[in-house]
Amino acid sequence: MQTIVIATHNAHKLEELRAILGDAATGFEFVPTDGPDPVEDGVTFAENALIKARAAVAHSGLPALADDSGLAVDALGGAPGIYSKRFAGTGVDADNTAKLLDELAGLPDPADRRAQFLCAAAFVAPDGTEAVEVAVWPGVILPEPVGDGGFGYDPVFRPDGLDRGLAELTPAEKNAVSHRAMAFRRIMPAVAAWSAGTA
């Protein structure tokens, strides 16, 4: 069993990751980091994911996985982007969503409200091996929040191909198709290849 540190202090994220990966997680034990949070001063999701993974490796001496994700709105030039969690300056999900809707208030046409959730998943090993995968989940920003599930911008995002908002999906439905799910599924072959090479 290969131990992989997940660069989070959130136990829920570990459970979500196991659910997302399913059989791809076989042979790996995921544990949360017990180290300090690094300063995320990258300018892309990929850079910030690597910063977190490298910090977890430096602290633990074990291989690590990390991710960084957020929302990019076309009409806002890609904002809030890497600043998604602090878009409104308060760190409160409802405030971020309210600010987003306010900035898009003059754009009622869904064609003008295109957006993407992005997630970068990074793998870093103690021997210097590094890999990053970025996933994009396109959709539109709804005119008002719908549903009572999810978190962050989920209540105002409707993924392409679905007739429901993201906060109206069950956790299992979201985990099957989300940007985070796509990114971590794409990174696992690199993790497995590294693990096989060190066995």
Burial classification of residue 102, based on how many CB atoms lie within 10 Å of its CB (0-12 exposed, 13-18 middle, 19 or more buried)? exposed
Domain carrying residue 161: 2-198
Taking the C-alpha atoms of residue 4 and residue 125, their distance in angstroms, rounded to an integer, is 9
First to last CA, the chain: 10
Domain tally, the chain: 1
pLDDT of residue 14: 83
Mean pLDDT (10-residue bins), the chain, 199 residues: 90 83 89 91 96 97 96 97 95 95 94 97 97 98 92 95 94 90 96 86
Pair of tokens at residue 75 = 């009409």
Taking the C-alpha atoms of residue 138 and residue 142, their distance in angstroms, rounded to an integer, is 13
Active-site annotation holds for 68 = yes
DSSP β-ladder status, 64-73 and 114-124:
antiparallel
The catalytic position among 23, 41, 67, 68 is 68
Question: What is the CATH classification number for the domain harbouring 174?
Answer: 3.90.950.10
Contact 26, 18 (CB under 8 A): no
Taking the C-alpha atoms of residue 60 and residue 33, their distance in angstroms, rounded to an integer, is 8
- What is 43-107 written as a DSSP string? SSHHHHHHHHHHHHHHHHSS-EEEEEEEEEEGGGTT-BGGGGGGTTSS--HHHHHHHHHHHTTT-
Contact 112, 106 (CB under 8 A): no
pLDDT of residue 15: 83
Q: Spell out the residues 6+ positions from residue 34 whose beta carbon is closer than 8 angstroms to its own.
A: 9, 59, 60
pLDDT of residue 199: 58
- At what angle are helices 11-21 and 179-198 packed, to 10 degrees? 80
pLDDT of residue 150: 79
